[in-house]
Chains A and B, each alone.
With several copies, the nearest count.
Chain A
Amino acid sequence: MRSMLFTQAIDDALAQAMADNPRIILFGEDIPLLRRNLLVRFGPGRVRGTPISESAFLGAGVAAAMAGLRPVVEMYMVDFLGVCADALLNHASKIEAFSGGKWTAPVVVRVPCGGGYGDGGQHEQSLWGWLAHIPGLTVLVPSTPADGGGLMLAALQHDGPVIFLEHKLLSETWLEFLGSGARSTVQYDVPADGAKGPVPQNWEPVPIGKAFLRRAGGDVTIVSVGVGVHRALEAAQALETEGISVGVLDLRTVSPLDNAAVREVVALTGRLLVVDEDYEGFGLSGELSAVVLEAGISCKYARVCTQTTIPYARQLEDQTLPSKLRICAGVRQLMQ
């Protein structure tokens, strides 16, 4: 088995798909440089740079998908979707419904998200819950290189709009560009298993909407995505020494949720801790409690999420994003 870095894996799966399907094209700001390895293999016709006009080029991606291409539109950061949310809220997500099911927009929006490297509150948001609120959008959040590549492949085969969120703390290229700038004087708490890991020789799609149990545990179930999964795994390991058995379910897909998997694991332990780097209110953490309650499963529940605008100062940032410390506290609270 090969081993790859997180973004390398995603790019590799993308390259495999591009070789198979000439309708896949790529564009976004600085893409010729950022995806230079794809540029020199697939040519400037399929790998394009754009002006800083997110509304125009994301909207164009949606329409190009309707007209037969399979565009991968890259945005610099999920935070910047604020300037072009209309393309997702009122167009990509609604074409299928509006057309009476006759027309779809199979566009993949690839966009870095997440914090942990001191870039401040306009550049470290997660927003997957915000996006998942909109019916008609598929929202993917891989936490390992293997899932990154596999979900990218699945996204490229999906017949509708997909938001593919690439956590910057896992991404060797984004973290270097935005965080370290190749300095050796800074350290970030990068989850090793998320940043690098085994990947298949030939990419196969990882099914959309299927969660994956990263760790079994009988006392408490943690449900999470992205970097939160790794924080949860660290916490679970630490709690083992206290005699608490913690399971960790990696959702991988935020929308559509794998309701069955969530219910199954929570029914088992009767205790649900949601670890969500996205904002706490009106998002994923609430939705998961509803999914469980709707099924008539009663459970103890707590959540460790981002509650406020993410502070710039590293220390404040660490206190704000879900951490092993806060997760352990959350689990212990549920065990009382």
Chain B
Amino acid sequence: MPPDLWTLYALMLKSRLFEEAVAKLWHDGLISGEMHLGTGEEAIIAGVVANLREGDAMALDHRGTAALLMRGVDPVLVARELLGYPDGLCGGMGGHMHLFSKEYLAASSGIVGAEGPAAAGFALAAQYLRPGSVAIAFFGDGAMNQGMLMESMNLASVWNLPVFFVCKDDGWAITTKSVEVTGGGLNERAQGLGVATVEVDGRDVSAVWEAAHIAIERARSGQGPTFLHAHCVHFEGHLLGFPMVRIADHPLREMPGIAIPLTLSILRPGGAPLRDRLAGLRTVVASVLSTMRDPRRDSANDPVARVRATLESVPVRLHELEDQSQKEIDHVFASALMEVPS
């Protein structure tokens, strides 16, 4: 059965609207610490999660909210968890990097690469207790250099585990360009660990759905793990308040605080010859510029907008869906912000 774009769009929209509301709460100071959104990767999450069924498990990274919402976890519980309320999804104990749902067999971790072992373990349990079920590992391109993730791919291969390894490649690990710290190629690497691979445009939810469908069916029928390499962008950069994005958005406001110490430092006696200093400066400037020119700043890469464009031919249904989604999210946050029970 081909993907129903309306369903997929509804999933993506739900997550997008939810995360936009979260961003507001974060800016208002109601959410503490780091906050990594999944805005920009919704097509990957939706394309995969829409293929799941009861008994399937998910190992999530530091951007786990989208997957949980799309999987069906109560959004009010998630919102109240992010707010740190005692009746949140995890009683306020986990927070946004440690969202857990036993009911949906979904576990998050803030440790980069830990999704690998977790998905392998979920898949192992599936082999015994829920044959035909699968486990998903969602992680980024940066995680591909974490040993335990590579180990887990090998383990899934030799134990023939029903794991679908989903790499959401946005090209970045915080401020580091992945190409600069990653040798070989991700697909070759997965193959060298015995895992079948497939590559898709992660902005295209249909393409992801198709690839995921095949890989997940393969896993369900005992044919072992697959690695999906899917490309995407993250609109907010690494986390809310990301300095590089702040600079790009407000260069005049943000630059002095960075440029002044930089200039003082480059001028200080003692240290490298000028040539090396300039090379250092070039690195810094290149980073800032690459954020400014980054495709993650380009709304043409927005997976939600892309699928929406194909649905615009049915405007009434589209607006109805969107109104409905917005209402639901408004309702979620109205409930979520209700007084804390004591």
| Chain A positions near chain B (C-beta within 8 angstroms) | 15-16, 18-20, 23, 25, 29-30, 32-34, 36-69, 71, 79-80, 82-84, 86-87, 90-91, 94-95, 97-103, 117-123, 177-183, 185-186, 309, 311-316
Chain A residues in 8 Å Cβ range of B122: 63-64, 66-67
Interchain residue pairs with CB less than 8 A apart (6): A29-B176, A41-B270, A52-B145, A59-B116, A71-B124, A120-B94
Q: Is B299 interfacial (CB 8 A cutoff)? A: no
Asked if B22 lies at the interface with its beta carbon under 8 angstroms from chain A, I say no
Question: Which residue of A44, A103, A183 contacts B279 across the interface (Cβ within 8 Å)?
Answer: A44
Across the interface, B143 reaches (CB within 8 A) one of A37, A52, A65, namely A52
Q: Which residues of A contact B65 (CB under 8 A)?
A: none
9 closest residue pairs by CB, A with B: A181-B241, A59-B117, A118-B32, A63-B121, A43-B276, A100-B91, A185-B29, A312-B95, A19-B270
CA distance A63 to B124 in the complex (A): 9
Q: Which of A29, A122, A183 contacts B27 (CB 8 A)?
A: A183
Q: Which residues of A contact B94 (CB under 8 A)?
A: 98-100, 120-121, 312
B122-162 contacts to A (CB < 8 Å): 122, 124-126, 128-129, 142-143, 145-148, 151-152, 154-155, 158-159
Q: CB within 8 A of A313: which of B93, B261, B280?
A: B93
Within 8 A of A (CB), among B50-106: 57, 59, 81, 84-86, 88-98, 100, 102, 105
Known: A38-B265, A43-B276. A313 touches B95 (CB 8 A): yes
Query: Which of A36, A42, A103 has most chain B Cβ within 10 Å?
Result: A36
Question: Is B333 interfacial (CB-CB < 8 Å)?
Answer: no
Are A64's CB and B121's CB within 8 A?
yes
B271 at the interface (CB under 8 A from A): yes
Contact partner of B154 among A19, A25, A49, A53, CB < 8 A? A53
**Set B95, B107, B111, B279: member contacting A82, Cβ < 8 A:** B111
In the complex, the answer to whether B243 meets A63 with C-beta atoms within 8 Å is no
Most chain B CB atoms below 10 A, which of A43, A63, A95, A181 = A63
Q: Which of B32, B92, B182, B265 contacts A186 (CB 8 A)?
A: B32
Which B residues touch A69, using CB under 8 A? 124-125, 128-129
User: In the complex the two chains form, is B268's CB within 8 Å of A117's CB?
Assistant: no
> In the complex, are the beta carbons of B283 and A44 less than 8 A apart?
yes
With A50-B181, A56-B152 already in contact, the answer to whether A120 and B98 are too (CB < 8 A) is: yes
| Complex CA–CA separation, A49 to B114 (angstroms) | 21
Asked whether, in the complex, the Cβ of A40 is within 8 Å of the Cβ of B116, the reply is no
Asked if A97 and B271 make an inter-chain contact with CB atoms under 8 angstroms apart, the answer reads no
17 new A-B contacts, CB < 8 A, other than A41-B265, A50-B181, are A19-B270, A29-B174, A32-B287, A40-B284, A43-B271, A51-B145, A51-B181, A52-B143, A53-B155, A54-B146, A57-B120, A62-B121, A98-B93, A181-B26, A311-B93, A312-B92, A313-B92
Q: Are A51 and B154 in contact (CB under 8 A)?
A: yes
Our pick among A84, A120, A177, A315 for the contact of B97 (Cβ within 8 Å) is A120
Are the CB atoms of A49 and B181 closer together than 8 Å? yes
Closest to B149 in A: A56
Residue pair B117, A55 in contact (C-beta under 8 Å): yes
Beta-carbon nearest neighbor of A79 in chain B = B111
- Determine whether the beta carbon of A313 is less than 8 Å from that of B113: no
Which residues from chain A contact B86 at a C-beta distance below 8 Å? 313
Between A53, A62, A69, A120, the greatest number of chain B beta carbons within 10 A of the residue's beta carbon is seen for A53
Which one of B57, B96, B246, B271 lies within 8 Å of A18 (CB-CB)? B271
Report A100 CB to chain B, min CB distance, Å: 3
CB distance from A15 to the nearest CB of B (A): 7
CA distance A67 to B121 in the complex (A): 8
Indicate the size class of the contact surface on chain B.
35 or more
Q: Which residues of B contact A311 (CB under 8 A)?
A: 92-93
Determine whether B339 belongs to the interface, using a CB cutoff of 8 Å to chain A: no
Contact across chains for A60 and B271 when beta carbons are under 8 A apart: no
Which chain A residues lie closer than 8 Å to B129 at the CB level?
23, 67-69
In the complex formed, the residue of B with least CB distance to A66 is: B107
Name the B residues within 8 Å of A38 (CB-CB). 265
* Contact among B91, B107, B112, B175 for A95, CB-based, below 8 A: B107
Chain B nearest CB from A294 CB (Å) reads: 26
A99: chain B residues at CB < 8 Å are: 90, 93-94, 100, 102
Q: For the complex, is B28 an interface residue (Cβ under 8 Å from A)? A: yes
Given contacts A97-B93, A123-B33, contact A56 B84 (CB under 8 A): no
Most buried by B among A100, A119, A183: A100
Q: Are B159 and A120 in contact (CB under 8 A)?
A: no
- State which of A39, A56, A79 has its C-beta within 8 Å of the C-beta of B155: A56
Asked whether any CB of chain A lies closer than 8 Å to the CB of B17, the reply is no
Q: What's the minimum C-beta distance from B115 to chain A, rounded to whole angstroms?
A: 10
Does B208 count as interface, using CB distance less than 8 angstroms? no
**Nearest Cβ in chain A — how far from B67, in angstroms?**
16
Q: Does B295 contact A (CB under 8 A)?
A: no
A38 to B109: give the CA distance in the assembly, Å.
Answer: 32
**B4 at interface, CB cutoff 8 A:** no
Does residue B292 face the partner (Cβ distance < 8 Å to A)?
no
Residues from chain A with a CB closer than 8 A to the CB of B143 are 52
Question: How many whole Å from B98's CB to the nearest CB in chain A?
Answer: 4
- In the bound assembly, the distance between CA atoms of A68 and B159 in angstroms comes to 18
